[in-house]
Structure 1
Amino acid sequence: MNSSDSPVVLEGQLDTRVSRALWLVKWLLLIPHYIILLFLWIAFSVLTVVAWFAILFTARYPRAIFDFNLGVLRWTWRVDYYGYAALGTDAYPPFTLEDVPGYPARLHIAYPERLSRGLVLVKSWLLAIPHMLLLGFFLGGGLYVAQGSDDPATWAWGSGIVGLLVLFAGVALLFGRGYPRGIFDLVLGMDRWAARVGAYVFLMTDSYPPFRLDQGGSDPVGLVPPEPSAPTGEALVSQPVDDPVGTRQP
């Protein structure tokens, strides 16, 4: 597959020593990240509106805004990979917007030199509708308020297929069965689909996301490329781990 097929590269290396029970409390351990990400996503939303106008009038996504927004997406992917979008590692996510070559979850989106002024008017909502319907099935609706017959407002959780698969993986870990490789590959495929759609919806590319479930931790597009400041030819990503996850006690 040619790297030009998608400007989005999402990688996840499966940790061979995931704890059996740590996943039960990861929600608690991630609270500091959730608080910071709340404010980062507010900034992300405001800057995306600024980028929208910049693209409309100049056909360019301001590089400083692009780098910041990419950093927010990278931070979010590391938290999701550690947490309940994958449970792929017990390595605590770093507090940084930068790419972290040594961390098992990485994301790269190629910077577009020019973007379509016309597409910016429709791609975030109209053109993305088919993908958003599929992602609603994959990822669910998250935590939301639902109307009940007895209680006028109750909290409900819509986890989607990814949430159910990750739960199955957590139960398998808890009972010493290890992380099923087939579940991991499928979950990463759905996470990768979501990342490609996200990059398109957030105006970071004009490349329409493929309707393709590229499974596995290694993105078939290729490994995350070196950052521009890295020495030429320097490899910034370690080899993917193909062995099934062990069952180390927490």
Structure 2
Amino acid sequence: MVFVLLTMVAFVAILVTGRYPRGIFDLNVGVLRWAWRVGYYAYSALATDEYPPFTLAEQPSYPASLTVEYPERLSRGLVLVKWWLLAIPHYIVVGLLTGPQFSYETAQGTRYQGQIGLIGILVLVAAVLLAVRGTYPRNLYDLVLGLNRWVFRVAAYACLMTDVYPPFRLDQGPEDRVAAVGPAPAS
């Protein structure tokens, strides 16, 4: 909830000043970073046995990392449309990758909630392969990582942290090629 509320505060600040307040930016990046570490450990990648540290700060020793460069200036006009209108095509893709949410209640009153999309299905396949063969196939790991990169790029864009439009590209492997592109010029 804090992430959403602070993103709304940042929206107003960007609209008025063209800047994302640094403290809010750092906190929101930390929340995304922590969410990625938890996902890497569990439901989004199932890629490590190392329990994620409970901190919003960067942890170089942890196998999952997420960095969003602080933008000195952001487009005041773009802030009005990028999070909803421009992001619609990506929302469709992310919806397919993460899947719809569902919930149901048993006759005994137990409530179950879940979400399964392409990433969830691939991670389930990885879990079965890990249980049966004891290994995570490199190609499957790279695919899962690439799909998660897409989701987090869209999250950073839609949450107003960058003006760089997320590419419609699946970056697989150990490096994220988008980082080499650099930030877009602010208008």
Normalised to the residue count of structure 2, the TM-score between the two structures is 0.88
Offset, 1:156: 6.3
SS at match of 1:86: coil
Offset, 1:157: 3.9
Q: Which has the larger radius of gyration?
A: 1
Aligned residue among 59, 76, 86 for 1:117:
76
Superposed counterparts of 1:24-103, under 5 Å:
42-103=1-62
Per-residue CA shift, 1:189-236, capped at 9, x if unaligned? 00001111110000000000000000123323469xxxxxxxxxxxxx
1:239 corresponds to which residue? none
1:171 corresponds to which residue? 128
- The code of the aligned residue for 1:114 comes to R
Q: Counterparts of 2:83 and 2:179 in 1: how far apart (Å)?
A: 26
- The code of the aligned residue for 2:17 comes to T
Q: Note the aligned Cα RMSD (angstroms).
A: 1.8
SS at match of 1:105: coil
Is it true that 1:185 corresponds to 2:142 in the alignment? yes
Aligned residue among 92, 96, 108 for 1:137:
96
Aligned residue among 160, 168, 174 for 1:203:
160
Runs (5+) with no aligned partner, structure 2:
105-110, 181-187
Q: Counterparts of 2:114 and 2:64 in 1: how far apart (Å)?
A: 26
Question: Percent identity at matched positions?
Answer: 59
- The code of the aligned residue for 1:111 comes to Y
Offset, 1:84: 1.1
- Matched residue pairs, number? 175
Q: Counterparts of 1:202 and 1:113 in 2: how far apart (Å)?
A: 16
Q: Counterparts of 2:139 and 2:145 in 1: how far apart (Å)?
A: 10
Offset, 1:91: 0.5
Q: Counterparts of 2:93 and 2:176 in 1: how far apart (Å)?
A: 20
> In the superposition, relative to structure 1, how do residues 124 and 222 fare at CA in structure 2: closer, same or farther (>3 Å)?
closer
Per-residue CA shift, 1:169-190, capped at 9, x if unaligned? 1001111241111111100000
Runs (5+) with no aligned partner, structure 1:
1-41, 147-153, 224-250
Normalised to the residue count of structure 1, the TM-score between the two structures is 0.67
Q: Counterparts of 2:100 and 2:65 in 1: how far apart (Å)?
A: 24
Q: Counterparts of 1:103 and 1:158 in 2: how far apart (Å)?
A: 26
Q: Counterparts of 1:75 and 1:183 in 2: how far apart (Å)?
A: 23
Q: Relative contact order (C-alpha < 8 Å, sep 6+): which is higher?
A: 1
1:230 corresponds to which residue? none
SS at match of 1:111: coil
